[in-house]
Chain A
Amino acid sequence: MAVAHALRPPSPLPWLAATVAGLVVWAALYSQLVPFSDWLVSLLPVERHSHLGEAIAFFFYDVPKVLLLLTLVVFAMGVVRSFFSPERTRALLAGRHEGIGNVMAASLGIVTPFCSCSAVPLFIGFVSAGVPLGVTFSFLIAAPMVNEIALGLLFALLGWKVALTYLGFGLGIAIVAGWVIGKLKLEAWLEPWVLAIHAGAVALPEATQTWPDRIRAGLEAVREIVGRVWYWIIAGIAAGALIHGYAPEELLASIMGKEAWWSVPAAVVIGIPMYSNAAGIIPVVDALLGKGAALGTVLAFMMSVIALSLPEMIILRKVLSLKLIAVFVGVVGTGILAVGFLFNLLFA
């Protein structure tokens, strides 16, 4: 892919061919993960089945595996997102009624390109163009919670079933929480200056997007996102490897296991002040699960870290009253609690 990047051919075929070639190289690398990690450990003067040997093998297998899978997911999402824009999403949502509007907003939240520094302009832009408040919230809850980093890492570490379940429950929380906030009719709790803006929606000139552009968007997403989170992932997997090699199983099972019902609310509360290092937390989460922590508790922790973050609330405080932020935290927090308990009940 890197070779084709320098050229700018008029036909999309070289780009598509380079993408296919890139995928083949990716698959070849992925198939060599276990021999690679075994080979690395065999070079070290460490007994393979000692605590240290286990921890090192875990680390050398997981780091390349997670980075490879994350790169693939981020690339795919980057290409998919080139088909969407916040302006187009807003036009789709403007004037929608609650219910179908919430479902559409949460789904579009996953595929619409969105960065957290855009949260406030996006919020005002949606509300002032006639997107109902509850529908806007469905979008704002889903967009950060069901993101490519969380999905990619869950897929890499815990498998596609857990990743899909996270996707489903994340969407569910965004839909229901937005619907509830809409039903509460809290428009008056916005900051007054927000209500005063009636900008409407601007019509942008249609951007020309070709397939090479979309593939480039995918590569750009990889460069930006994987470039930003790779060291968190390595640190997280290192911590996970230590837990994997050393932490006693009974200890974690008693603190974070299914029997300890209070661990779910505790996980949500602990998650709120933590922010955006989902990339570093998920590998730890993976190791905790391996030592007997309950899946629901762990997922509740993750969702809380990602969806209820203190810095984002401070940014949103510019447009929302404290009362409205409290409602937002209460409704979303309740949804996360429900997911945590449900998971612990469903997955033995």
Chain B
Amino acid sequence: MAKDVKVLGPGCKRCDRAVAMAHDAAAQTGVAVTVEKVTDYAAIAGYGIAATPGIVVDGKVVHAGGLPKPEDLARWISG
């Protein structure tokens, strides 16, 4: 089953870059993913983060605020 990756962010430039990075990490590690953008403020806040973009893998928040390191992202997606 494909990993479920969500990028939390109201739609700023960094959020778009985070989405692209998630696709890159998936291609690099060979893991099948579905990447979804969550832009609704209430939904974002529901994950308990305080800074965007946030990244959620299979329902678990792994990152919040700024862009993650590519190697960290690859580890979260393949882990």
A residues contacting B by CB (< 8 A) are: 85-87, 89-90, 113-115, 117-118, 120-122, 124-126, 128-129, 193-194, 197, 199-202, 204-205, 207, 213, 318-319
Contact between B51 and A113, CB atoms less than 8 A apart: yes
Q: Whole-angstrom distance between the alpha carbons of A7 and B74 in the complex? A: 20
List 3 tightest A-B contacts by C-beta distance, closest first: A125-B50, A202-B48, A117-B12
Q: Whole-angstrom distance between the alpha carbons of A193 and B45 in the complex? A: 11
Kindly list chain A residues whose C-beta atoms are within 8 Å of the C-beta of B8: 121
Contact between A197 and B42, CB atoms less than 8 A apart: yes
Kindly list chain A residues whose C-beta atoms are within 8 Å of the C-beta of B50: 86-87, 89-90, 118, 121-122, 125-126, 129, 201
B residues contacting A by CB (< 8 A) are: 8-12, 14-15, 41-42, 44-52, 54, 61-66, 69, 72
Question: B52's contact among A118, A202, A318, by CB below 8 Å, is which?
Answer: A118
With A117-B9, A120-B10, A121-B49: A204-B64 Cβ-Cβ less than 8 Å: yes
Kindly list chain A residues whose C-beta atoms are within 8 Å of the C-beta of B11: 117
Contact between A318 and B66, CB atoms less than 8 A apart: no
Interface centre among A85, A117, A120, A122 (most CB of B within 10 A): A117
Interface centre among B14, B45, B50, B72 (most CB of A within 10 A): B50
Contact between B65 and A85, CB atoms less than 8 A apart: yes
Contact between B41 and A124, CB atoms less than 8 A apart: yes
Kindly list chain A residues whose C-beta atoms are within 8 Å of the C-beta of B49: 87, 121, 125, 202
